[in-house]
């Protein structure tokens, strides 16, 4: 119930239309009540570019992966990471996107020594849960120590 105000509009306005237009395909269920989808990157150039640098994203009760799990170096780790985000969403409900975006923006504008994505507490929790590397120095940021863009 707590996540329902997010679930209905996201599925009606994003997940179902992407699936119906062939931009994502159903790929099973990694956990009870969770649908897994894979992006069909061949569908359009802009769609492929939108996924550049991403492993996956979540929607309530759904994981959307950039490509088939077999194509990832550690697919189980990625799926565990995304499942942790779903757990976070079910605990925080409608506050999850606000917490995620709020912490990202605080880091982006107020904490220059941190990376808005890598140091986001929800991302760090998901990486810890999935057994992924948690702490990064600025030299390890995606595009080097000047990289402060949070999403790619």
DSSP 5-63: HHHHHHIIIIIHHHHHTTSEEE---SBTTBEEEEE-GGG-HHHHHHTTT--EEEETTEE
Tell me what the mean pLDDT of segment 80-102 comes to: 96
DSSP H or E run through 3: none
Confidence of residue 69 (pLDDT cuts 50, 70, 90): confident
Confidence of residue 71 (pLDDT cuts 50, 70, 90): confident
Report pLDDT for 93.
94
pTM of the prediction? Answer: 0.93
Report pLDDT for 27.
96
DSSP state letter for 67? S
Higher pLDDT, 152 or 92: 92
Report pLDDT for 152.
58
């Amino acid at each position: 119930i707590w996540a329902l105000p997010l679930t209905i509009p996201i599925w009606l306005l994003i997940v179902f239309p992407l699936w119906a237009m062939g931009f994502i395909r159903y790929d099973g269920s990694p956990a009870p009540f969770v649908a897994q989808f894979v992006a069909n990157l061949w569908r359009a150039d802009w769609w492929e570019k939108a996924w550049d640098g991403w492993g996956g994203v979540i929607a309530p009760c759904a994981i959307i992966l950039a490509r088939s799990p077999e194509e990832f170096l550690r697919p189980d780790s990625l799926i565990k990471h995304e499942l942790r985000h779903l757990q976070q969403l079910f605990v925080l409900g409608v506050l999850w996107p606000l917490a995620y975006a709020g912490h990202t923006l605080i880091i982006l504008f107020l904490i220059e020594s941190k990376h808005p994505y890598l140091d986001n507490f929800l991302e760090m929790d998901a990486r810890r849960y999935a057994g992924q590397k948690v702490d990064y120095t600025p030299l390890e940021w995606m595009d080097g120590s000047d990289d402060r863009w949070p999403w790619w």
